[in-house]
């Protein structure tokens, strides 16, 4: 019932570009061939024509040094080009610097978040390799590679500098290269190989082609460069952050969580897993597992992030459900109706003991029949042989039941009206299936106060005529008790049972025998009753637009009890908002 991961966006093209000392920005290698610039070499995978005009974007492929060493993404026609341009300063380069970029081309309207971190890491890794061994700028045994470097006199001076031990210690050590093996620049590149071949600028084409093919086919690649370095990329889906959950929300597993348990799991996670059954709300799970509520909430959000469960509203017969426009999918989807028949069928669950149930001998003629072994018989000899007749609701009857839900009736009223069609149907599973598939939704009922009442603020809630006023005398000295007839309170008895609000004056506790004397210069104490506290709590919930599920969970009361409290405290000043 969870949304399946659609897969990663395939790479449209990939190319390697450098800033040529005399020609400027140019594409050195491209996959597929001819996808960026026309080429004479043609094969079966070659593009008929370039995807876009490269000269119009070359200033963004190798930008100014201020924009290098950071991830760059821009749109070209219907494509998105993503790269990490690198600019390396060095006196041995022909223009005192060497710039390159490995670029990826994707469709513009697709999510490429999983690629961004890997593209950035790829650019940083080749920067480190270039600083160590000039792996990109130097071609072994080819005179054409010397165009990136200065003349022979400068090369001789550079050779003398490399012979300096102090230079060898300090060169090439940066934040990105301190964990890589330092390669002496004097060493030729014949020791750096890919697949047994000497790694030079010519082999970068095969490297790019392998990255392109492996990521598109397997979503990962592992390509060795030398004994210490390799191009290691693995794509992971980036999921959205889970929404905040409420104490009244019910987690519904979408997979077998017990089979995923590992010894290294969080202890709180292991404690709460047995109580995640699609029935218990979050606050109840915390109580049953004897775990902190906020730790329980964090663990459930963790499972929600990895789509191991879904969140639904708590099941109550006072709830109201209504069909969505997607209810038509129940008939048009090839497997949804059959899945519903299998999921909602129940032989054991019966609502015959509920007060609104009246037995009915009628049955739907459209219903099918099949036989399954009974689980009620406890006899060992007859358990394997005894079979009972189970009524399987037809797909049309299930669709009729979903369509009959509407905002005007609670589940209790709806069940009384359709009870003869609900034989052998687990009502909770029936509603849960519809909610998870999106063919019905829970109509949330939010109690609200009239604007005139809200304008009074919480001060109007404090004025409860049922409150008891404690009569106080003006003290004659600081050593006299503040109250007539109330000299002291036991900390473990009276104060825990009576909530006192101090509006003015000072309160001082003294004594060592568990007693406390209360003093104030201008006594004005109010004893807040239990009803007043309930009234304040209800007012705060209505100010925050909490629905009945949340309020009932917080007050540990049924909806009818909460409605009675609202009628008692607010009378006709409150109403219902359905959404």
pLDDT digits (tens, 9 = 90+) for 442-495: 998 888 887 655 544 544 444 443 343 333 344 444 444 443 333 333 333 333
- Does residue 357 have a pLDDT over 60? no
Given this model, what pLDDT does residue 392 score? 79
Higher pLDDT, 229 or 512: 229
Please report the pLDDT score of residue 560 as a whole number: 87
pLDDT at 542 over 60: yes
For residue 451, the model assigns a pLDDT of 63
Residue 284: its pLDDT value, please?
Answer: 93
Taking 80 as the threshold, does the pLDDT of residue 165 lie above it? no
Distances (CA, A) of 287 to 265, 272, 282, 509: 20, 10, 9, 35
pLDDT (0 to 100) of residue 291: 93
Residue 200 pLDDT > 70: no
Least confident of 27-36, 286-295, 339-348, 486-495: 486-495
Using pLDDT thresholds of 50, 70 and 90, give the confidence band for residue 500.
Answer: very low
Closest CA to 50 of 39, 62, 61, 40: 39
Per-residue pLDDT at 152: 54
What average pLDDT does the segment 310-326 reach? 91
Beta bridge partners of 25: 19
What's the pLDDT score for residue 4? 57
What is the reported pLDDT for 513? Answer: 42
3-class secondary-structure state, position 398: helix
Mean pLDDT of 163-169: 45
User: Does the pLDDT at position 111 exceed 70?
Assistant: yes
In the structure, what pLDDT confidence band is assigned to residue 529 with cuts at 50, 70 and 90? low
The band of 364, judged by pLDDT with boundaries at 50, 70 and 90, is very low
pLDDT at residue number 86 = 94
Question: What are the strands, taking DSSP E only, across 346-465?
Answer: 368-373, 387-392, 440-443, 445-449
Alpha carbons 32 and 49: distance in angstroms, whole number: 11
Average pLDDT over residues 160-189: 43
Helix or strand (DSSP H, E) at 106 = strand 97-107
Q: Does residue 11 register a pLDDT over 60?
A: yes
User: Going by C-beta distance under 8 Å and a sequence separation of 6 or more, which residues neighbour residue 187?
Assistant: 133
The rounded mean pLDDT for the chain is 74
Least confident of 20-24, 358-362, 408-412, 432-436: 358-362
Distant-in-sequence contacts of 565-571, Cβ < 8 A, 24+ apart = 565/534, 565/535, 565/538, 566/447, 566/538, 569/531, 569/534, 569/535, 569/538, 570/449, 570/453, 570/538
Structure confidence at residue 2 (pLDDT): 45
**Is the entire prediction scored with pTM above 0.75?**
no
For the cut 50, the answer to whether the pLDDT of residue 140 exceeds it is no
Percent of the chain at pLDDT > 90 equals: 33
Residue 450: per-residue pLDDT: 74
Which distant-in-sequence residues (6+ apart) come within 8 Å of 222 by Cβ? 230, 231, 232
Report the pLDDT value the prediction gives residue 388, as an integer from 0 to 100: 58
pLDDT at 146: 62
Query: Is residue 139 predicted with pLDDT exceeding 80?
Result: no
Measure the CA–CA gap between 346 and 240, rounded to whole angstroms. Answer: 36
Dump pLDDT digits (tens) for 60-110: 999 998 999 999 999 999 999 999 999 999 888 888 889 999 999 999 999
pLDDT at 156: 52
Structure-block tokens of residue 140: 């072994």
Q: Return the closest-CA partner of residue 571 out of 450, 463, 469.
A: 450
Map residue 453 onto helix, strand or coil. helix
Residue partners of 434: CB distance under 8 A and separation at least 6: 321, 402, 440
pLDDT reported for residue 225: 81
Q: Report yes or no: 291 and 271 within 8 Å, Cβ to Cβ.
A: yes
pLDDT at 85: 95
* Bridge partners of residue 27, in order along the sequence: 17
């Amino acid at each position: 019932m969870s949304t399946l991961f659609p897969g990663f966006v395939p790479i449209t093209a990939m190319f390697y570009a450098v800033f040529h000392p005399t020609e400027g920005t140019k594409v050195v290698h491209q996959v597929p061939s001819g996808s960026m610039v026309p080429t004479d070499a043609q094969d079966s995978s070659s593009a008929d024509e370039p995807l876009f005009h490269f000269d119009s974007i070359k200033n963004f492929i190798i930008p100014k040094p201020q924009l290098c060493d950071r991830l760059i993404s821009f749109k070209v026609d219907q494509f998105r080009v993503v790269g990490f341009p690198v600019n390396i300063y060095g006196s041995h380069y022909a223009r005192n610097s060497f710039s390159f970029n490995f670029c990826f081309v994707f469709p513009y309207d697709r999510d490429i978040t999983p690629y961004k971190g890997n593209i950035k890491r790829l650019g940083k890794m080749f920067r480190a390799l270039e600083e160590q061994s000039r792996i990109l700028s130097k071609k072994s045994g080819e005179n054409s590679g010397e165009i990136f470097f200065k003349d022979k006199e400068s090369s001789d001076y550079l050779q003398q500098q490399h012979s300096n031990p102090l230079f060898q210690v300090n060169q090439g050590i940066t934040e990105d290269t301190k964990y890589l093996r330092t390669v002496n620049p004097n060493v030729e590149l014949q020791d750096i190989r890919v697949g047994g071949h000497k790694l030079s600028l010519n082999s970068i084409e095969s490297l790019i082609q392998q990255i392109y093919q492996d990521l598109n086919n397997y979503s990962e690649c592992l390509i060795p460069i030398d004994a210490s370095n390799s191009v290691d990329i693995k794509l992971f889906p980036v999921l959205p952050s889970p929404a905040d959950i409420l104490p009244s929300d019910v987690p519904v597993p979408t997979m077998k969580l017990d089979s995923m348990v590992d010894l290294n799991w969080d202890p709180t996670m292991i404690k709460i897993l047995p109580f995640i059954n699609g029935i218990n709300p979050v606050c109840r799970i915390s109580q049953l597992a004897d775990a902190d509520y906020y730790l329980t909430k964090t663990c459930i959000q963790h499972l929600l992030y990895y789509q191991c469960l879904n969140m639904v509203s708590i099941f109550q017969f006072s709830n109201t459900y209504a069909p969505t426009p997607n209810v038509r999918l129940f008939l048009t989807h090839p497997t949804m109706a059959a899945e519903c028949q299998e999921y909602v069928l129940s032989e054991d669950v019966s609502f015959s003991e509920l007060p609104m149930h009246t037995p009915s001998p009628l049955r739907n003629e459209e219903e099918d029949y099949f036989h399954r072994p009974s689980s009620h018989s406890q006899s060992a000899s007859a358990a394997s042989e005894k079979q009972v007749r189970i009524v399987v609701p037809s797909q049309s009857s299930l669709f009729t039941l979903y369509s009959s839900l509407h905002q005007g009736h609670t589940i209790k009223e709806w069940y009384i009206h359709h009870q003869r069609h609900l034989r052998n149907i687990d009502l909770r599973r029936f509603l849960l299936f519809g909610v998870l598939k999106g063919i019905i939704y829970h109509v949330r009922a939010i109690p609200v106060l009239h604007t005139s009442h809200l304008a009074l603020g919480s001060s109007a809630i404090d004025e409860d005529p049922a409150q008891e006023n404690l009569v106080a005398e003006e003290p004659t000295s600081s050593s006299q008790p503040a109250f007539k007839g109330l000299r002291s309170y036991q900390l473990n008895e009276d104060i825990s049972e009576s909530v006192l609000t101090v509006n003015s004056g000072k309160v001082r506790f003294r004594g060592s025998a568990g007693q406390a004397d209360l003093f104030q210069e201008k006594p004005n104490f109010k004893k807040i009753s239990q009803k007043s506290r309930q009234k304040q709590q209800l007012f705060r919930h209505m100010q925050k637009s909490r629905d009945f599920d949340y309020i009932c969970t917080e007050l540990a009361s049924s909806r009818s009890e909460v409605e009675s409290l609202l009628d008692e405290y607010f009378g006709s000043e409150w109403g219902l908002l359905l959404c």
